[in-house]
Structure 1
């Protein structure tokens, strides 16, 4: 009896049986053949309709009324005022970052005459999206340009007046505040740095508040450095031009916002129009600035943190300087099962987003509603672990209830991160009190304190908790004497506190 030869064909290093050989095998399984088929493109699995149903209600219509004309401008006639008051195309200012972008990337060749009309964007009407349940709305600066009054309309037909909290001309982002509203839908904010060229995205708008408009397309260009040293700071897409979507969100395949849509009409041979998305990080940055100024309540993890330098990275077992190092836990969060963070923990990820520095974490958390659960990846005792914690509400402008509350920043200012010894630690070391040093930088490092030291007393007063250490240092004067134990030896070190 003859044997059937099987031909093996290699594609990119993967072996496949030829069709003739497969047909010759009497036991060939249809399931096995189907398994060898290439998977469907990822883009075919995106359910944009479900995405719009879920997140569309958080996209709002924004309409504005400009300030009244005054002086000589008012004498120029009602026609000029009507042109200004009606929503329409607004010439970009030469100092606008979008104008600068088009000047370098969309300018006609020198041999061609330049177009008389400068690049334009729609203003006076557009879209925005709610980023937190307390009524913060993000949109573009162009949509609310020169606005004195802003009206926000939801898809459920609720209508609210809104205040313009801030307009940042450098990023073209504006933040609004809706007052006296409840049960507001919100968007999930993502990470634009993960966007890839060729990735499919969705833009959602709200033309009149009664329904959503949507367009989909591909990411054409991601932010990058230009040859002249400047930065292309936008996501460029091939989304169909739709002025109703300007100021609205651009979502990735996971339904998270990675950018704010802005439609630019360039009127030149290369770009008749350009669909850009301002990276969502610009929204987070502006919100964080308002929180630092005490103008916004912010979400928080209830901890104080610092950046990790190369020395600390080695001490905490990190591959390089990264993450946010927890230096203290707020009194209301200490011992809370919902928090779980401890001084000395290094947060390296939140909800899958990498944390390179402290501001990455604070900006991300500040946009979350208090009560939101977040998944953290931390390094504790040089070992990675997962932790779920809860965002709490805090205000950066809140005054301390008493002078003792100002002590909370003493250890952080001195670069000292510590934690209380456990009962087992005290038994092993033969100590009745003391706190373990997790990190020492700045003044503490200059004093000779090192990670792993145990602080036993301050000015001969025993300390057994981080709070006790903080109080003793705060009340100890400009220079305090710390008794520390390192390995089996004890020594005093002098620490300057002012």
Structure 2
């Protein structure tokens, strides 16, 4: 399910409040407000369209809804794809909730926020769609985030337990694998979201409010919408009815191809829904299938849109691009010679029209890849070669470990690790109330020694942790985040 969230003004006042406390039991809501808070809908909010089944059969219908003066039924198209649309049910056990940072003791309870203690169990419903006959399913990350069990139901009545193969919180995409499923399930193709035009007919199938496999139709209303859900917003907008329960479901073109994954809605509005473009989903698939996480290219600079006013001030005739406002010392951009006031016009042959398009273009490239960056400097075009770095997690972002890494390490310790640059095991996540939290471990710390054994990788740390006897107290030597200083921590093994 999905919950409508408060207005941007209210969210701004409670910036430290975890989104989940705004609607327990409604799934992992996106803490975002409407894209134009100062426009004609200043108080509307964008909420996660909690979950919607989606999928389409292997056979693709070729269907033209426009005929000479007659209205053509969508029934043949629905029949051709509905078998691949699925119903996603998730359950999560109660979890401890850490104290809300920045608030004095007692304030959370005073203002009705979630206090430190036990978070209630969660149960939610969503949608998804099968993309290969062996049972690979796409859905939204917020549908399955924190789920302990995932059950997927097909339209023919069959149901399967599912494993979460991979998640990408920044684009709200998740990949599931059905357990024990046959290899001949109905499936659908990802279409070309760049080919769909504003005004083209589209169709959604999902489970709004638990009403199984509901169908709605409309048109593509807009492209490239930034609704402030994350740094890679590039949503398709549609007036096809999208409601809580549609999250993760497919948005089809008239050829029976998925051009978007239904993800968000405007709270209180009608006919305003948003979908992740299929081309963006396709770009993430290989990493989600191989490692379960998405690693993105990184330049290491701050940029802003090139406005007509800035263009005049910079004495350039360039109309579109991203102006470099700052370069991080030692970053890939700095090593390649990028400078403040450079205007970036393309990356790896892809035109850059704004700071947002620069962010999205670089994020689709793999770390360590060498790319050509076209810039205008002092009115003259130049080409620089940049070796991209790996985008680090920003403050407040969830950082996930690759499936083939040593994380998560022994659930009973409540810690996840990954290999750290320069050696050691970097702490990626610490579960509230766990032995790791009680030991004073926090994300960003790097474990370099466990008892007398030096640690050079996450796997070595994992082996040391998992081989320790119950009741043992492990002496850890760790490097604090953003520091070369080491400190000692004692980790008790339950």
Give TM-score scaled by structure 1 length.
0.38
Q: Name the one with the larger helix percent.
A: 1
Bigger CA radius of gyration:
1
Higher relative contact order, structure no. (Cα contacts within 8 Å, ≥ 6 residues apart): 2
